[in-house]
């Protein structure tokens, strides 16, 4: 399989073009078609000479994510199930921003993207890990999730969306829907480190996705060595820890990764990250009834948050079919939030977003794959 063009940085494309005696101006035109106009075929790049388009076609692939299913919820959270070139499925979720969550005005949208097909980390409450890990996503498959969502959103907008083949390719971008990225979908992002970082560099670059590094949050279940590595990256991405338990006892029960990197080691890596970056970390905490939602748990959680100068995002559990875990009642969640605030912790509680659309990470994919197996290659809509 040739390398996909969206796996390459501008510098890599320039080297290739130089070897073909093509100018940097042609590189700018190509990148304009890919990232400003988000076209889906070589033929749409009408101001590139036909001979260059032929060379590109022979040399690179231009893979497009195929929309297999889309679900929208009452609060306009939308979940996209994409079919990859090899028939695997991944999910991305577009969430209207809650100003309190990632610090932006409410006309903003956050896209939650996946980095692996399935997941090897096997957190007990998570649909993504239920059937294990299949493969890492390529750079282009991570990048394409943003472009594909933009194309889908663009289809819905009457104005401002002219993917006409006659336009000159410039960096006058089509209006963007995605303002923030959280890498918190299917898979453990830091277990696909190289592809993730390269994809985020492309999404951040002015010639690429143009999304500020500070608008990009990488979430990890706690891979301490990779957190240290991330601390040395020059770009200022945000870091979120999927903590879900503030003691080893709770984390060991629901997150097997904690046996390899217990809290002591994880916290040390986070401190090193903060020392290098000087940036606030977010602690994600899914509230699961009877597991980690007692007020007692707020004490170690508050102490951890204060030690790391971190804010806490509380997320009531989204039920997963086939798993016995349950979401706590509203009052329990509100009391948990209040107890953290009383202990001088900056905390937010995610009120319902996407609960009616198989919102738990990996759930739509699982449902679709089960339907495909049961119904011999078909899934209902
Ligand atoms: S929560 Fe994240 S790391 Fe854990 S199994 Fe799910 S996708 Fe993997």
Greater model confidence, 370 or 290: 290
What is the spatial distance between Cα 344 and Cα 329, in angstroms, rounded to a whole number? 24
Give CA 113 to chain center in angstroms. 2
231 CA from centroid of ligand 1 (Å): 21
Decide whether any atom of ligand 1 lies within 6 Å of the 187 Cβ: yes
> Which residues touch 27 (CB under 8 Å, ≥6 apart)?
10, 13, 14, 17
252 CA from centroid of ligand 1 (Å): 14
Decide whether any atom of ligand 1 lies within 6 Å of the 208 Cβ: no
Band of pLDDT at residue 160, cut at 50, 70 and 90: very low
Task: Kindly report the pTM of this predicted structure.
Answer: 0.90
Decide whether any atom of ligand 1 lies within 6 Å of the 117 Cβ: no
Q: What is the mean pLDDT of residues 234-242?
A: 95
User: Which pLDDT score is estimated for 1?
Assistant: 78
Question: Which of 120, 128, 132, 183 has most ligand 1 atoms within 8 Å of CB, for mutation?
Answer: 128
The owner of tokens 């991305």 is 92
Band of pLDDT at residue 320, cut at 50, 70 and 90: confident
Active site residue 361: yes
Question: Which of 113, 187, 258, 285 has most ligand 1 atoms within 8 Å of CB, for mutation?
Answer: 187
User: Which pLDDT score is estimated for 142?
Assistant: 98
Per-residue pLDDT tens for 128-140? 878 899 999 999 9
User: Which pLDDT score is estimated for 158?
Assistant: 39
User: Which pLDDT score is estimated for 279?
Assistant: 86
What is the spatial distance between Cα 233 and Cα 301, in angstroms, rounded to a whole number? 28
Tokens of 230: 């991330």
Report the atom number in ligand 1 closest to the C-alpha of 255: 4
Q: What is the mean pLDDT of residues 202-228?
A: 97
350 CA from centroid of ligand 1 (Å): 19
Q: How many CB atoms lie within 10 A of CB 54?
A: 12
Q: How many CB atoms lie within 10 A of CB 109?
A: 20
User: Which pLDDT score is estimated for 109?
Assistant: 87
The owner of tokens 């096997």 is 122
Determine contact, residues 296/246, Cβ cutoff 8 Å.
Answer: no
Asked whether the predicted pLDDT for residue 36 surpasses 80, the reply is yes
User: Which pLDDT score is estimated for 214?
Assistant: 94
Q: What is the mean pLDDT of residues 41-55?
A: 96
Q: Residue 368: which of 58, 71, 54, 48 has the closest Cα?
A: 71
64 CA from centroid of ligand 1 (Å): 25
Catalytic residue among 11, 54, 91, 284: 91
Question: Which of 124, 125, 129 has most ligand 1 atoms within 8 Å of CB, for mutation?
Answer: 129
Asked whether the predicted pLDDT for residue 355 surpasses 70, the reply is no
> 165: which DSSP letter?
T
Greater model confidence, 75 or 6: 6
Decide whether any atom of ligand 1 lies within 6 Å of the 189 Cβ: no
> 33: which DSSP letter?
I
Compute the mean pLDDT over every residue in the chain, rounded to the nearest whole number: 88
Q: Residue 111: which of 29, 6, 200, 221 has the closest Cα?
A: 200
Decide whether any atom of ligand 1 lies within 6 Å of the 123 Cβ: yes
Per-residue pLDDT tens for 278-317? 988 999 999 999 999 999 999 999 999 999 999 999 999 9
Q: Which of 146-155, 191-200, 284-293 has the lowest mean pLDDT?
A: 146-155
Band of pLDDT at residue 165, cut at 50, 70 and 90: very low
User: Which pLDDT score is estimated for 162?
Assistant: 47
Tokens of 270: 């986070």
Band of pLDDT at residue 166, cut at 50, 70 and 90: very low
Decide whether any atom of ligand 1 lies within 6 Å of the 121 Cβ: yes
In percent, the amount of the chain with pLDDT more than 90 equals 73
User: Which pLDDT score is estimated for 381?
Assistant: 52
Q: What is the mean pLDDT of residues 354-374?
A: 65
Report the atom number in ligand 1 closest to the C-alpha of 126: 6
Active site residue 91: yes
Asked whether the predicted pLDDT for residue 251 surpasses 60, the reply is yes
């Amino acid at each position: 399989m040739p390398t996909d063009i969206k796996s390459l940085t501008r510098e890599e494309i320039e080297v290739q073009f130089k070897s073909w005696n093509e100018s940097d101006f042609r590189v700018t035109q190509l990148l304009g078609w890919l990232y400003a106009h988000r076209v889906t075929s070589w033929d749409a790049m009408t101001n590139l000479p036909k001979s260059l388009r032929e060379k590109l076609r022979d040399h690179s692939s231009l893979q497009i994510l195929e929309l297999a299913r889309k679900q929208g919820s009452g609060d306009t959270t939308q979940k996209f199930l994409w079919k990859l070139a090899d028939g695997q499925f991944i999910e991305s979720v577009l969430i209207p921003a809650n100003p309190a969550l990632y610090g932006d005005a409410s006309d903003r949208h956050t896209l939650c993207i996946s980095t692996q097909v399935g997941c090897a980390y096997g957190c007990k409450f998570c649909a993504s890990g239920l059937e294990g890990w299949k493969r890492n996503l390529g750079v282009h498959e991570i990048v394409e999730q943003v472009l594909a969502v933009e194309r889908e959103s663009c289809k819905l907008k009457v104005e401002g969306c002219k993917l006409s083949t006659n336009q000159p390719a410039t960096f006058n971008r089509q209006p963007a829907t995605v303002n923030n990225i959280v890498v918190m979908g299917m898979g453990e992002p830091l277990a696909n480190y190289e592809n993730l970082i390269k994809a985020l560099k492309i999404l951040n670059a002015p010639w690429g996705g143009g999304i500020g590094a500070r608008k990009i949050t990488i979430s990890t279940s706690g891979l301490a060595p990779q957190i240290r590595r991330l601390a040395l990256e020059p770009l200022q991405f945000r870091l979120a820890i999927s903590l879900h338990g503030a003691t080893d006892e709770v984390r060991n029960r629901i997150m097997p990764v904690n046996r390899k990197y217990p809290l002591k080691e994880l916290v040390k890596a986070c401190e090193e990250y903060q020392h290098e970056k000087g940036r606030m970390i977010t602690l994600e905490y899914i509230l699961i009834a009877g597991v980690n939602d007692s007020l007692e748990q707020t004490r170690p959680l508050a102490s951890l948050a204060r030690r790391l100068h971190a804010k806490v995002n509380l997320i009531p559990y989204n039920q997963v079919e086939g798993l016995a875990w349950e979401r706590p009642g509203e009052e329990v969640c509100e009391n948990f939030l209040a107890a953290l605030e009383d202990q001088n912790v900056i905390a937010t509680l995610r009120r319902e977003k996407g609960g009616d659309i198989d919102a738990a990470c990996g759930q739509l994919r699982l449902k679709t794959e089960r339907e495909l197996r049961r119904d011999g290659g078909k899934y209902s809509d």
